[in-house]
Amino acid sequence: MGRFDAERWGEVYAELFASHDLVHNRRQTRRISISAEGDGAFAVVDVDTLWQSKEDGSHFHWKGRACKVYSRVGSEWKMTMHTGLLAYPPEPQPL
């Protein structure tokens, strides 16, 4: 969706939540690495999120590995970017 725009991103996710039910949202952190200076970090996360269309029952599956990059700003960690999921499975099969 490009550079973060709260209004645009909010509209996209509002539509997703309105049109789909969340079946499951499983995340497993595989690695966290913090820079020697303590001001940057990344996390590797396995994602398994399954949505089901309210209209026709079809599935929309987010599954794969993502890298999330953080910067320390004052006393808080802020995510500055993340990769898209790096493994795209075949089309989901009905449950």
**For position 50, which CATH number holds?**
3.10.450.50
71 found inside a domain: yes
Record the pTM: 0.74
Range of the domain at 73: 23-82
Number of domains in the chain: 1
4 found inside a domain: no
Token reading at 90: 């075949």
Partnered with residue 45 across adjacent β-strands are 29, 66
- Candidates 47, 49, 54; CA nearest to 21 is 54
8 found inside a domain: no
6 found inside a domain: no
pLDDT tier, 4 (very low <50, low <70, confident <90, very high otherwise): confident
46 found inside a domain: yes
* Residue 18, pLDDT above cutoff 60: yes
* Residue 17, pLDDT above cutoff 90: yes
* Residue 43, pLDDT above cutoff 90: yes
